[in-house]
A and B are shown apart, each in its own frame.
Chain A
Amino acid sequence: MSELSGKRESASRPEMEPSIWEISRPGARGVRPVSRPVDVTDLPPGICRQTPSGLPELSELETVRHFTRLSQLSRGVDTHFYPLGSCTMKYNPKVMDRVVSLPGFADLHPLTDEEGMQGFLGALWTFSELLKEVLGMDAVTLAPAAGAHGELTGILLARKYFESRGEAVRTEILVPDSAHGTNPASAAMGGFTVRTIASKASGHIDLEALSASLSERTALVMITAPSTLGLFEEELSEVVRKVKAAGALLYMDGANMNAFLGVLRPGDLGFDIVHINTHKTLATPHGGGGPGSGPVGVREFLSPFLPNPRIVRSGKKYSVVDGADSIGRIRSFHGSAGVLLRALAYMRMLGEEGLKRVSLYALLNANYLRKKLEGVLPGMGDGLCTHEFVLSARSLEKEGVRAIDLAKGLLDAGYYAPTIYFPLIVPEALMVEPTECESRAMLDRFADDLIRLVGLASSDPARLHRAPEKTPVSRPDEVKAAREPVLVDPMAAPGRR
C-alpha cells in the first residue's frame, strides 16, 4: 500500500475517457425511425435545416458506455466520502426518486389547469406549511431556484417593504465577512450598497463594528447562521436587538441550517427573512448547476410582497393566485417542482424527531472529527463547532506544503477533497463538513488519512506535490486556463458539417 492511497483505491491512474466528439462514428445512430418521417410541409419556410446538425454520432450502447465511464471517473456522495465544507453534500435517499417518479407528478404538464393538478398543488402547499413550522415563519415562497436566488428574493422583498413605508433612504445592506460570498453579490444585484463588517479574531461578529455601520440608511443585515467558520454567533440576541433598534430588517442565510434543523427556529431567534437550500439541508440533488431550490420564509408583515404565483387552500381545494403587492414572478411556474417534491418526501420520511436527529448527528460527526484532528492542524474557534469546521494549513508553509496539496493528497486517498481557501479570512483554509450521513468508521478512516498526509509534509513533501496520481488528470493548470482560455465549439468545427 502506498503512503497516499488507502487500500480501497486502485494503484494506477485511470485512463481518461475521450470526449463524445472523439468517439463519434459517422453514420452511427441510436434510433432509426421506421415509420414515416415527420411531414415537414406544414413548417414555415426557411426554418428547415439544410445541412446535418453536427451532433456526435453513436449507437445507444456506445452512448450508455461513454456516460457510464464518465460517471465512474467522477466522485459523488454515492461513491466517496464528500466532506466539501459549506456545501452540505449529504446522501440523497433513493426513496425520494421514487416519489417524484410517481406518474401523477412526473407526467404532469406545467400548463395543466388547477383542477387537473390538485394533488401537485396540495403537495407544494403541504411543503410550505412544513417549512413555516420548521423555520418559525408566517409565510413561505417555494419559487426561488437556488440559495442565492432566495437571497435575491429576500432582498427584493426588503426593498419593496421599505418602499411601501416611504423609507427608500435605506440603501445599505451590512454583511459580516464570515457570511456566504453570495450575500454581498445578491445585495449588490438587488440595487443596494454593500458594507462589510469585519469579524473579531474569534470569528464572531464584532458588535462595535456592527454598531458603527448601522444607520438610518441600513435596510438589511445578512447573517449566515451558523457562519462560514462553523460558529454560532455568541452574541446573536444582542445583534438582533441592535439591528431592530436601527429600524433595519434581519436576514438569515440558512444555507447552514443543517446545524440546527428542528432544534432552533430562525423566526424565534428574531430573523425577519430566511432562505434555506433544499439541496443542502433537505437532501435534494445539488445537480451540477441544474435545478436547485431556495425557499424563503418571512414574517407576516412581509407576506404581501412574496413572489407570484401563490398556492392557497380553501376547504379542500387548492388554487393559484397572484398578490397585488407582490415583487412579481421570479421563476417560471412553481419553481423546481421535482426538487421541492423530493424535499417534501424527505421531511415526511423523517418526521419532526427525525429532522432533529439529522442536525444532532451532523453536529456530533463534525465535533467528533474535529476532536480527532485536534493538534494536527490549528482550527478556528476555541471549543465546539457546529456542523462543519475550518482548519488552517499555514503551519505547513515552512515545508512548502499548502492546503491545496493536502486536498490533492486526499483525492489519492480516496475522498472528494474538502473545501479549500474558503472562508477567505482563514489563511490556507480547509473546510470540512462530514454531514450526518457518515459512520464513525468512515470518520476514523478519514482522520487517519489526513493525519498521515500532514505527516508527509515534513517526511516527503514532494509526494504531496505530485498528488493526485490516481485521478485521470493530475493538476489542471488553472491559471493558464483562466488567462488563456481556448474555447472550442465542436459542432462548428470543420469536418463536422
Chain B
Amino acid sequence: MPEPRRYTRTHEWMAPSDTPEQWNVGITDFAQKEVTDVVFVELPKVGRQVPRGGEAAIIESVKAAFSIYAPVGGTIIGVNQELESDPGLLNRDPYGKGWIFRFRPDHSADVQSLMDGPAYETFLQEGGGHPEHG
C-alpha cells in the first residue's frame, strides 16, 4: 500500500491523481473481496458536492448493494466511465483501473485526517469490520 494513499473506516481509499488538488477514490482490496464480484456501479454526477461520509456512489454485487461514501467533504469532478461497461475492474484492479470517481476536497487538510497505509492495516487486523459497518 503506497504511502500517499489514505483510507477510511468504511474501506474507501483516496489517492492523488496527476492533477494537483484532485484525488481518485475507490474501494480497498479488503472491500472488493468482501463485496465479491461487482456487477454494477452507479456513478455520481460530475459537479455534485458531497459532505464527508455522504453517499457518493453505489456498487452492486451478486450479494448485495453497497454505498460508497465520500472520505471527506468535496466535489465530484470526474467519474471512471470504464466501470459502466466493465464493473469487474473494481475486483481485478481496485487500486488502479478500478477507481470510481475523481474528487476535489473542500479542504485539502481534511485528507490528512484519514488513515495512512499502516494505520489501515492495523484497523483491519483489529477486526476493522465490514464494508457496511465501518
Contact = CB atoms under 8 A, between A and B. Distances in A.
15 contacts: A177-B132, A177-B133, A421-B63, A424-B64, A424-B132, A425-B132, A425-B133, A427-B34, A427-B130, A478-B37, A479-B37, A479-B62, A479-B88, A482-B39, A483-B39
A228 to B, nearest CB: 12
Contacts of B87: 483
Interface string A465-491: 000000000000011001100000000
A364 interface: no
Tell me if B's interface is mostly helix, strand, loop or mixed.
Answer: loop
Interface of A: 177, 181, 198, 421-422, 424-425, 427, 478-479, 482-483
Contact of B88 (A181, A478, A483): A483
Contact of A482 (B40, B130, B132, B133): B40
A483 B34 CA distance: 19
A283 B112 CA distance: 56
B55 to A, nearest CB: 10
A181 B62 CA distance: 15
Nearest to B40: A482
A420 to B, nearest CB: 9
A177 B87 CA distance: 26
Nearest to A199: B133
Nearest to B91: A479
Nearest to B55: A194
Interface in B91-134: 130, 132-134
A425 B88 contact: no
B108 to A, nearest CB: 28
A482 B87 CA distance: 11
A86 to B, nearest CB: 14
Nearest to A198: B133
A478 B61 CA distance: 10
B64 A482 contact: no
A456 to B, nearest CB: 22
Nearest to A424: B132
A425 B127 CA distance: 13
B54 to A, nearest CB: 11
Nearest to B34: A427
Given A425-B130, A479-B88, 20 more contacts: A177-B132, A177-B133, A198-B133, A198-B134, A421-B64, A422-B64, A424-B64, A424-B130, A424-B132, A425-B132, A425-B133, A427-B130, A478-B37, A478-B62, A479-B37, A479-B39, A482-B40, A482-B62, A483-B39, A483-B88
A478 B40 CA distance: 13
A427 to B, nearest CB: 6
Nearest to A420: B63
Nearest to B86: A483
Interface string B1-39: 000000000000000000000000000000000100101
Nearest to A422: B64
A198 B37 CA distance: 25
A296 B39 CA distance: 35
Nearest to B131: A424
Contacts of A421: 63-64
A424 B61 CA distance: 13
A177 B131 CA distance: 12
A361 to B, nearest CB: 32
B60 to A, nearest CB: 8
